[in-house]
Amino acid sequence: MTPSLNRKKTVLVVDDSPMNRELLIDIMGDEFNVVEAENGEQAVAAVLRLGLGVSLVLLDYVMPGMDGLEVLEVFQKNGWIKDIPVVMLSTESDPKYIERAYELGATDFLVRPFDANIVLHRARNTIMLYSKQRMLYGMVADEINERERDVNLMVAILSHIVEFRNGESGRHVLRVRMLTELLLTYLADKTDAYNLTPDDISLISMASSLHDIGKIAISEAILNKPGRLAPEEFEVMKTHAAVGAEMLENLPMGQGERLVQTAHDICRWHHERWDGRGYPDGLKGDDIPISAQVVALADVYDALTSERVYKPPYPHGKALDMILNGECGTFNPLLLDCLRENADDICSQVEDVSLDGNRVSDSGYTMRYVADSLAESMDEGKASREFDLMEYERMKYAFFAEMSNEIQFEYAADPSMLIISSHGTMNSGLPDIVADPIDDERMTKMFRREDLLDLDRRLRATSPENPIVNLEMKANLNGKPRRLAVVARSLWSEEDEPAYVGALGKIADVHDGRATAQSIDA
């Protein structure tokens, strides 16, 4: 259990009138932890600081600076409104304003004059509704994950049985599955030619586990024969592809299912070759379904890197060379590109599967896990426990930040707002929140405006892949010239074309030597 400082839910009261805030605190203070904000800017800063630690926002409309509707807009734009309910405090009865607030995602209105009981009940109900929704969401997600885990387990057991006759451990199937998933992911990044959705990738990867089920029809004498197979024995061995497909065709149920169809294609065609010289049908190029093409490549790679009765395991690099040189069949050039370009990644991921190979066989553990997590969700909601954990992490983070000799900041680009989350031990004299920091006098008194513009320009010039900016600037700290090192990271929206939304970073005083600067480079 995470240590929690305060079991009370936190309510953020946003109102420019101290009387109004006091009245709400007086009404709610016994039951809730009330955090105050005097204006819209402080409200946004409080949510940036406390995150989902805020269970409810009570928001006034008429305020100097950013008003209630503008705060709602920020909530909507940042996606907070989905997780944090906002109840508007209102003396306004203008229908246009009420309509707009609902449009922006306000949950409800508390119309003045305040009635103590209504305020309390509405706060309780709104918080309960949201936390129940979060809890249900978590439970459904957990359930789906568990179901998927069980299905995977069944498939793993089935393929283990097939391999068991083969004298193998079942790890081959796991690794082929992992390789299939990796290759398909790289392929989908590289080209739209195969219309691979995440759903397709997961389905094909799962079906890949069944690629060798036809081998249960092959006699153990041939299957486990040490040394080379005679030509007629090899012909028998080759039938496993068509036999596996037939087994699925004759399945009394599930004929329309995509999983069965995909598994069928993989079974039948995972020994076809790109040049048309494979078996059983001699299909060529993209006549071979992409599922079977990928599994064929994964199968060959894993066969090369695994020990067999007739050969030692080849190292990753050697296996790669053999495949790319065409010594082990011919493959779709696009797939070979994927293999080549991601060779290191593939090597390390497959190693991980090998080490963790027994994880799917421990069904007792899986069942216990399902039971425990369900009991937890029913009990008091795992979701709320995660929030406790977040609160704890925040507390820990805030403590270390305060103890450091750095200023830590967050910057939101729209509306342009700088939030100093920790002043550390550096006594900068800056306020916690600065709107439009580049044009703010308190900022330009301490920093040179061109340095601020330079930092802003550099952050905007970064990309989601390379978001870090390092620079030094001169500053005037309490009347003394100081050299400061800034390291910042840009933040980007999650849209298809990510937009710059702000940054976070820290500023350290490096005037007295490089030691501090190096510690922030790490």
Partner 1 sequence: MTLDACYALMGGNLEEVRGRLRSDERVAKFARFFRSDETYASLERSWEQRAMAEAFRAAHTLKGVSRDLGFTPLHVASAELADVLRPAKEGGAVDEAAAEKLMEDVKRAYDKTIEALNVLDD
- Per CB under 8 A, residues contacting partner 1 are 16-20, 22-23, 26-27, 62-64, 91, 112-117
Question: Reduced to 3 states, what is the DSSP secondary structure of residue 194?
Answer: coil
Indicate the residue among 28 and 452 with the shorter CB distance to partner 1: 28
**Full DSSP string of 471-509:** EEEEEEETTEEEEEEEEEEEEE-SSSS--EEEEEEEEEE
Question: DSSP for 441-460?
Answer: HHHHHHB-HHHHHHHHHHHH
Looking at the Cβ atoms of 64 and 285, the one nearer to partner 1 is 64
Q: Write out the H or E segment, with its range, that includes residue 357.
A: none
Written as six digits, the tokens of 454 are 């330079």
| Least distance (Å) between residue 24 CB and partner 1 | 10
* Closest distance of CB 107 from partner 1, Å: 21
- In the complex, minimum distance from the CB of residue 188 to partner 1, in angstroms, rounded to a whole number: 51
- 437: DSSP letter: G
Task: Count Cβ atoms below 10 Å from residue 127 Cβ, excluding itself.
Answer: 17
Torsion of CA 115, 116, 117, 123, to 10 degrees: 100
In angstroms, give the least distance from the CB of 61 to partner 1. 9
User: How far apart (Å, rounded) are the C-alpha atoms in residues 382 and 386?
Assistant: 6
As measured in angstroms, the least distance from the Cβ of 74 to partner 1 is 20
Beta pairing, strands 10-14 & 468-477: unpaired
Structure-block tokens of residue 131: 């936390």
Three-class DSSP labels, 216-239? HHCCHHHHCCCCCCCHHHHHHHHH
Nearer to partner 1, 19 or 253 (CB): 19
Burial class (CB within 10 angstroms; exposed 0-12, middle 13-18, buried 19+) of 347:
middle
| Residue 521 amino acid letter | D
Q: Looking at beta carbons only, is 31 or 393 nearer to partner 1?
A: 31
CB of 22 to partner 1, least distance (A): 6
Least CB distance to partner 1 at residue 63 (A):
7
**Three-state secondary-structure class, residue 163:** helix
Cβ burial, residue 502 (10 Å; 0-12/13-18/19+): buried
Least Cβ distance, residue 436 to partner 1 (angstroms): 19
At residue 265, φ and ψ (nearest 5 deg) are -60, -40
Which residue number, 15 or 265, has a Cβ lying nearer to partner 1? 15
Tokens of 261: 């169809």
Structural tokens at position 267:
């079974």
| Closest approach of partner 1 to the CB of residue 31, in Å | 14
CB 85 to partner 1: min, Å: 22
- C-beta of 7 vs 96, nearer to partner 1: 96
- Give the number of C-alpha atoms closer than 13 A to the C-alpha of residue 445, restricted to the C-beta side: 10
Smallest distance from partner 1 to CB 123, Å: 15
**Residue 307 DSSP symbol:** -
Name which of 59 and 288 has its Cβ closer to partner 1: 59
CA distance 246 to 243: 5
**Two tokens at 323?**
């495949």
Compare residues 63 and 87 and give the one whose CB is closer to partner 1: 63
Q: How far is the CB of 109 from partner 1 (least distance, A)?
A: 14
The residue among 62 and 153 lying less far from partner 1, judged by its C-beta, is: 62
Smallest Cα–Cα separation from 294: which of 312, 322, 269?
A: 269
Find the shortest distance in angstroms from Cβ 58 to partner 1.
13
Question: Which is closer to partner 1, CB of 22 or CB of 150?
Answer: 22
Closest CB to partner 1 among 123 and 188?
A: 123
CB closer to partner 1, 62 vs 127: 62
**Cβ-proximal residues to 470 (8 Å cutoff; 6+ apart), any chain:** 485, 486, 487, 521
Nearer to partner 1 (CB atom), residue 69 or residue 473: 69
User: Which residue, among 292, 287, 285, 252, has the nearest Cα to 268 in the 3D structure?
Assistant: 292
Give whole-number Cα distances, 239 to 161, 218, 299, in Å: 19, 8, 17
